[in-house]
Amino acid sequence: MIDNFKIESEKDDVCPTCEDMRRVETGTRIETVQIRNESVEVDANVQRCTYCGNFFSSGDEDEATIQKAYRKFRERRGLLQPEQIRELREQYGLGQRAFARILGWGEITIHRYEAGSIQDEAHNDTLMLVRDADSFARLYEKNRKTLSRSVSQKVDEHLIPLMRDRQEKYFVEYLASNLNEPADLIISGNRKFDLERFESVILYFCGKLDHVYKTKLNKLLWYYDFITFKHLDRSATGASYVHLPLGPVPDNYDFFLADLIRKGSLEANEIVFDVEKGVTGEWFKAFQKPDLDLFSDEELRFLDQVAKRLGDMGARELSDLSHGEDGYAKTKKGEFISYEWAKNIRLFT
């Protein structure tokens, strides 16, 4: 053990063995702590008396050594650390007692765990489970009668946005996985809708170009998918486009935009053009890099070309441009625009 002692400094202090003032070395040494039949080695802060050679440490130092060993033990066993338990509890707006009650545990159990006691495995399993808002909500429903009205109101305030977030996420995933199935040449351009590609193209345009307004973004997406289809016989994102008054718009596009905003990948900025008439516009800025590895070199070349050729155009100009395309001119309001019209796109010819 003495071999492990790393001296950091020296001072005059009382040696508990000699019971007298001595020259004392301060430093660390490796100690083994037994936790549930397991040996955990940690660096412990200790002193050594240079006169009698004995090691000693304060109560605080012993406690710190134990806590260090506990942390290592929890890490090894995949147990939550005290601060993770506290964060979990605070996520639901709960005090320690109320949280313990919802979990059906003794009142001071959570207090003990947050203060550093090691939780048993079954309790840890429950804690891991209630990190998921749905699982927590089920336990909460079961035990909410044990809570005061003000406490359950506070939990509701925290829980409802968490659940809504989850539901929106599931909804968008469900929507994306059920769009254009099976892939239909006419409306999806030979590709099943691919959410990752679709989001990446949005992030690409909104990262590369300034002030990308909603109408403009729709046109950029449409041109990109149709030009890609024209040359490669397959669309880039699998999105379907609908004929709307201001031009072609990706089907269900608002949900996917909202999802990007919810995730913090995209920021929406509203601008008021005319206060009296209440005319507003929204432009987007990307806060996440697009995943360009998803695309082939040719697909990336078209993406770059669309950004270069159309990126500087205003929404009005782009809208007029798209109105002149056969895909738009030969369809009616509300109809899907067939990818078969891609061959007539006049841009890049």
Q: Which of 24, 40, 49, 236 binds Zn ion (CB under 5 A)?
A: 49
Site for Zn ion in 69-108 (CB under 5 A): none
Q: Which stretch binds Zn ion (CB under 5 A): 14-22, 158-166, 168-176, 244-252?
A: 14-22
In the complex with Zn ion, which residue's Cβ is closer, 18 or 186? 18
24 lines the binding site for Zn ion (CB under 5 A)? no
21 lines the binding site for Zn ion (CB under 5 A)? no
In the complex with Zn ion, which residue's Cβ is closer, 14 or 160? 14
Which residues contact residue 331 at a Cβ distance below 8 angstroms, ignoring those fewer than 6 apart?
Answer: 243, 337, 338, 341
Q: Which of 6, 7, 14, 17 binds Zn ion (CB under 5 A)?
A: 17
CA-CA-CA-CA dihedral for 131, 135, 139, 144, to nearest 10: 80
Q: Which stretch binds Zn ion (CB under 5 A): 16-24, 158-166, 177-185, 215-223?
A: 16-24
In the complex with Zn ion, which residue's Cβ is closer, 17 or 32? 17
Selection from 124, 119, 108, 128 nearest residue 36 by Cα: 119
Selection from 160, 152, 105 nearest residue 133 by Cα: 160
15 lines the binding site for Zn ion (CB under 5 A)? yes
Measured from the CB of residue 61, what is the shortest distance to Zn ion in angstroms? Answer: 17
Q: What are the structure tokens assigned to 88, written together?
A: 């979990």
46 lines the binding site for Zn ion (CB under 5 A)? no
Q: Which of 5, 51, 105, 336 binds Zn ion (CB under 5 A)?
A: 51
Measured from the CB of residue 129, what is the shortest distance to Zn ion in angstroms? Answer: 52
Q: Which stretch binds Zn ion (CB under 5 A): 8-16, 56-64, 125-133, 253-261?
A: 8-16
Q: Which stretch binds Zn ion (CB under 5 A): 17-25, 101-109, 277-285, 306-314?
A: 17-25
**Quick check: 321 and 246 in contact, CB under 8 A?**
no
Strand ranges (DSSP E) for 170-297?
212-213, 241-244, 247-250, 266-274, 279-286
Q: What are the structure tokens assigned to 117, written together?
A: 């006691």
Q: Which of 7, 18, 21, 279 binds Zn ion (CB under 5 A)?
A: 18
Which residues contact residue 186 at a Cβ distance below 8 angstroms, ignoring those fewer than 6 apart?
Answer: 336, 338, 339, 340
Measured from the CB of residue 55, what is the shortest distance to Zn ion in angstroms? Answer: 10
State the Cα–Cα distance between residues 22 and 24, nearest whole angstrom: 6
Q: Which stretch binds Zn ion (CB under 5 A): 9-17, 214-222, 246-254, 283-291?
A: 9-17
Amino acid occupying residue 241:
Y
52 lines the binding site for Zn ion (CB under 5 A)? yes
For residue 133, give the H/E element and its range: helix 133-143
**Quick check: 346 and 243 in contact, CB under 8 A?**
no
Residues that bind Zn ion (CB under 5 A): 15, 17-18, 49, 51-52
